[in-house]
Amino acid sequence: MRPGQFFLISLNAMPAEVVIEGTTLRLARPSDVAVARRVAAHFQRRIAENDWRPYRSRADAVRAWTRLGGIRLQVMEALSLLSES
């Protein structure tokens, strides 16, 4: 590299991956890994406790969360919530 030349590296643009229930989720940035893990823990707790409040049922909860898309949708797919509702 010659003097005066530089490479611009954006850390926010680096993709990241996390494995949930054997499924690899491809995320837009490294900070999304923590979000995906937190969302997965939240969904796993709701599944274990059969707690779908404030929704009437699991199907209603999954339908509402599906509309949010993004990381939540990827996590729901990894946890097989979409195929069960």
Boundaries of every domain in the chain: 16-84
pLDDT in tens, the chain (85 residues): 455 445 444 455 578 999 999 999 999 999 999 999 999 999 999 999 999 999 999 999 999 999 999 999 999 999 999 986 5
Strand partners, 27: 16
Whole-number pLDDT of residue 14: 72
Query: Apex CA 44: angle with CA 62 and CA 63, to 5°?
Result: 0
In whole angstroms, give the CA distance from residue 52 to residue 69: 18
